[in-house]
């Protein structure tokens, strides 16, 4: 990711970024082209505007010629301009940018597009089902891009968009963000979720808006910006208070916020958030939307187990995670991520206890699951496990497991 990528992900123009930092636009242009770098006195303000700490900014500014050779090769191969996947990605983002811009036009003929909006709602629901059931998530890209094209055509046909079409856009942008997130394209995911939040806010769809913020917080969690994630999730909880009380939005926000607090080592705040999440059981009827909101309380055991693991309460964590494993069978595609995460956490407990048998039992199953499903999320979780495996010693089985994980994530 570059300064330009981060700036665009936050919705800043070069001019706006330059004005906020207190430099000329041409200076920002030179930074983004790699011709110069912010001077040390400028960096605190640059980091503040880009919403990162100084260490993250320094990593962002590190020239590619000082990166390890293997990392440079991987980066260039992944983002080569002529690469078909990269061309598809750029076209995908272009469609979203157009939809997001047109969806912000003030409404005028509210009822004219209602049939179109109903059709988009049904199709979006179908696409969420396809995404949940797909083993290889990237295979859903073409149909989502086709839906984006149709949405663009509806928004640009000379009639003003309705609130319903803005809701359809918010749903679709969140799905696009999920695809990007699963492919480890964090800045693309951030851009998608930001568009989703804007469209949802425009429509006054509080639950959809809050869910976009929750998904955006997952990006911050993945990039270890735990304090920022906790703040974003706090905002999501407040927004969800204005939404539909029969939905589980505020409880999902609390569950994810518990993860941020656990990473920050704040046990009391984590427990409060978990307790709030468990109140989802008090909701009568259908608490989820089936697509962009799927939190129904069935994952509370794994959430609590994962949080106890982060807080190093290993006995409590193992009990909760084993209960969760019984509740996450491979009966449907959407459970691949959940089961994979539980398996990795149980393997991590084995590593902390220096128990190679437990590591191999759960680690190998998670590895098979990642290969069979093609899930980037499970692959990322396995990659994070390798740091724990270094504490076990020279067991050849552990070394082989680390090597296979390395091949998978590459």
Domain boundaries, the chain: 3-62, 323-410
* Cβ contacts of 407 within 8 Å, gap of 6 or more: none
Higher pLDDT among residues 41 and 170, named by residue:
170
**Across residues 82-103, what is the average pLDDT?**
50
CATH of domain 3-62: 1.10.260.40
List the single range of 5-9, 92-96, 124-128, 163-167 with lowest mean pLDDT. 92-96
In angstroms, rounded to a whole number, what is the distance separating the alpha carbons of residues 275 and 221? 21
How open is the CA angle 371-372-374, to the nearest 5 degrees? 65
Region 68-77 average pLDDT = 34
| pLDDT above 70: percentage of residues in the chain | 77
pLDDT > 60? residue 77: no
Q: How large is the C-alpha radius of gyration of the chain?
A: 22
Position 290 scores a pLDDT of 64
Q: What is the C-alpha to C-alpha distance for residues 27 and 37, in angstroms, rounded to an integer?
A: 9
Give the pLDDT band of residue 243 (cuts 50, 70, 90): very high
Distance of alpha carbon 175 from alpha carbon 149, whole angstroms: 15
Q: Compute the C-alpha angle 198/204/208, nearest 5°.
A: 65
Whole-prediction pTM value?
0.61
pLDDT of residue 114: 46
User: How much is the average pLDDT of 326-336?
Assistant: 57
pLDDT band at 188 (very low <50, low <70, confident <90, very high): confident
Residue (of 175, 167, 174) closest to 141 by Cα position = 175
- Of the candidates 320, 299, 324, 295, the one whose C-alpha atom is nearest the C-alpha of residue 310 is 320
What is the average per-residue pLDDT within 198-211? 90
Q: How far apart are CA 180 and CA 166, in angstroms?
A: 21
């Amino acid at each position: 990711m570059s300064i330009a990528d981060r700036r665009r992900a936050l919705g800043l123009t070069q001019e706006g970024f330059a004005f906020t930092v207190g430099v000329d636009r041409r200076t920002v242009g030179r930074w983004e082209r790699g011709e110069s770098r912010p001077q040390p006195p400028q960096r605190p303000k640059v980091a503040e505007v880009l919403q990162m700490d100084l260490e993250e900014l320094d990593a962002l500014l590190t020239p590619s010629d000082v990166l390890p050779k293997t990392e440079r090769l991987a980066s260039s191969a992944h983002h080569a301009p002529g690469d078909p996947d990269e061309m598809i990605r750029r076209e995908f983002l272009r469609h979203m940018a157009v939809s997001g811009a047109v969806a912000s036009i003030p409404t005028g003929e509210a009822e004219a597009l209602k049939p179109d909006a109903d059709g988009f709602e049904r199709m979006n629901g179908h696409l969420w089902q396809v995404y949940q059931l797909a083993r290889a998530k990237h295979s859903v890209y073409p149909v989502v891009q086709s839906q984006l094209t149709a949405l663009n055509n509806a928004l640009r046909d000379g009639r003003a968009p309705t609130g319903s079409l803005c809701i359809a856009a918010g749903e679709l942008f969140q799905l696009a963000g999920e695809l990007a997130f699963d492919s480890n394209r964090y800045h693309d995911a951030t851009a998608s979720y930001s568009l989703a939040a804007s469209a949802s806010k425009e429509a006054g769809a509080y639950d959809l808006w809050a869910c976009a913020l929750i998904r955006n917080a997952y990006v911050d969690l993945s990039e270890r910006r735990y304090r920022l994630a906790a703040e974003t999730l706090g905002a999501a909880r407040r927004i969800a208070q204005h939404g539909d009380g029969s939905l589980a939005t505020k409880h999902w926000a609390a569950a994810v916020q518990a993860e941020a607090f656990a990473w920050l080592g704040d046990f009391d705040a984590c427990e409060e958030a978990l307790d709030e999440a468990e109140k989802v059981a008090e909701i009568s009827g259908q608490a989820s939307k089936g697509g962009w909101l799927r939190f129904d309380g069935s994952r509370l055991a794994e959430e609590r187990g994962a949080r106890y693991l982060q807080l190093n309460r290993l006995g409590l964590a193992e009990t909760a995670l084993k209960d969760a494993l019984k509740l996450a069978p491979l009966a449907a595609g959407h459970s691949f991520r959940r089961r994979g995460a539980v398996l990795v956490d149980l393997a991590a407990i084995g590593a902390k206890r220096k128990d190679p048998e437990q590591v191999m039992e759960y680690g190998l199953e998670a590895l098979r699951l990642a290969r069979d499903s093609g899930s980037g999320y499970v692959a990322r979780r396995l990659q994070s496990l390798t740091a724990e495996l270094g504490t076990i010693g020279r067991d050849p089985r552990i070394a082989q497991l680390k090597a296979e994980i390395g091949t998978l994530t590459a």
